[in-house]
Amino acid sequence: MTGTRLAGQTILVTGAGQGIGRGTALALAKEGAQVALAGRTKAKCEVVAKEIEAFGGTAFALGCDVTERSQVDRAVADVVEHFGGLTGLVNNAASSVQQPLAQVTDADVELCWRSGAMGTLYGMQAALPHLRAAGGGSIVNFGSSTAVDGNATFGAYAMAKEAIRGLSRVAAREWGRYNIRVNVIVPVANSPASVEFGEEHPERFEAVQKSLALRRVGDCETDIGRAVVALVSDDLSYLTGDTLMLTGGK
């Protein structure tokens, strides 16, 4: 059984096979959106698609490496062909490298840059004509608290994530005339990397949680995914070019 808040919307989520991408896809589908799930490992997206179909939602899984423009273009075209259009895009896919800044290599930067900043740009450019054809829509991109705070060892990742925030502000101003809104979420969430950290370093993880005002790391679906629902819905139709800090009061 699904709701109707996002009925009529078709939204593509990248990196949808796990973590925040999965949580976002579930939250969107539960509110009635048709959700396209893209990821490098199609099998993971197919598992999420089955989860969505199990509660009566509509999903379409496809493989896509966002570091390749041709694959992103093909994924968007396949979604439009499958569902008949596109009204929203969630750019979640990204790879991270942890390395002291003095040791960051060109390869580290290239990986984060192509999977994060360039992948986001490719998705936005591919989606633009279809969002315009739909009379407008919403794009949600993801930044990172590690970049906002300047956390040690996240230099390459921070470069890409802050580039995404700048890109999003420019797109919001250029595309607002088409009724296309572009916003960024900076999350603190129980992603697979966060869960792994908690299992390997339980005391440090507990200290991190205690440092948050809400004393807990956000849930990928109920805390982050439902915020995406709000951003793509009419409830926040006057919000664009902004960053939503979902960090639990970090």
Place of tokens 């939250």: 27
In DSSP notation, 54-86 reads: HTT-EEEEEE--TT-HHHHHHHHHHHHHHHS--
Asked if 83 and 60 touch (Cβ cutoff 8 Å), the reply is yes
Active site residue 238: no
Strands in the chain per DSSP E: 10-14, 34-39, 58-63, 88-91, 137-142, 180-187, 243-246
Among 122, 157, 178, 238, which one carries the catalytic annotation? 157
Report the alpha-carbon distance of residue 52 to residue 36 in Å, rounded. 11
Report the alpha-carbon distance of residue 189 to residue 207 in Å, rounded. 15
- φ, ψ for residue 10 (rounded to 5)? -125, 120
- DSSP assigned state of 123: H
Catalytic residue numbers read 157
